[in-house]
Chain A
């Protein structure tokens, strides 16, 4: 148990729809990172939130957006869903001592599996 919880665990959407995934970080952590894991691949970095602001972004289009709340929980929003968005979406929390500090050890939730039909 990492203390990182994600919801929902599974969901099915159709092309063009929008989805919101949620994550509660481990107690004491102030940073949340989101990753996309396609079948048979390693996780790919989407973006990171530190103290409610985006603090780094991978190679994902703007229709992938996020939020972090004052209690450090986070949401991942994906608009205009495409078939290739089908994947396991992982949230990871960690503690950073500052915006430019090493993210350190990431602790992952069990993920939200999204299927786009």
Chain B
């Protein structure tokens, strides 16, 4: 699969702070998705982006599809303890493997009260 570079690898913040994480790739994607995964569970879809430049919000979460189609970022405003988890970016494109999601390695977020 295509290599996605997700950063930072981990973040340790205080409740109420804003969070920003991003994902870059050497390949162009036609869809970017952001997922959150809690321990022992499957990833849960947070935001889906389908057009270059698109900026989409879901509550306190905001994500953007980069103009170059090679990057995306996710912001979380006013973090709360339940934001703790691992956040994954995923890009989708058509290859000879079909349409598949390529995932980053994740950003681990810890929030202290």
Contact = CB atoms under 8 A, between A and B. Distances in A.
B88 interface: yes
Interface residues of A, number: 31
A92 B104 CA distance: 17
Interface residues of B, number: 28
A58 B42 contact: no
Interface string A87-108: 0001010001000111111111
Contacts of B92: 102-103
Nearest to A43: B103
B33 to A, nearest CB: 7
A110 B40 contact: yes
A69 B79 CA distance: 43
A109 B1 CA distance: 22
A106 B98 contact: no
Interface of A: 2, 4, 33, 35, 40-45, 48, 55-59, 90, 92, 96, 100-111
Given A102-B31, A106-B33, A45 B42 contact: no
Contacts, number: 78
B97 A45 contact: yes
Candidate in A2, A42, A56, A107 with the most chain B CB atoms within 10 angstroms: A42
For the residues of B in contact with A, the DSSP-based class is strand
Contacts of A96: 99
Contacts of A110: 40-42
B105 interface: yes
B53 interface: no
A90 B104 CA distance: 16
Contacts of A103: 92, 99-101
A108 B101 contact: no
Contacts of A111: 41-42
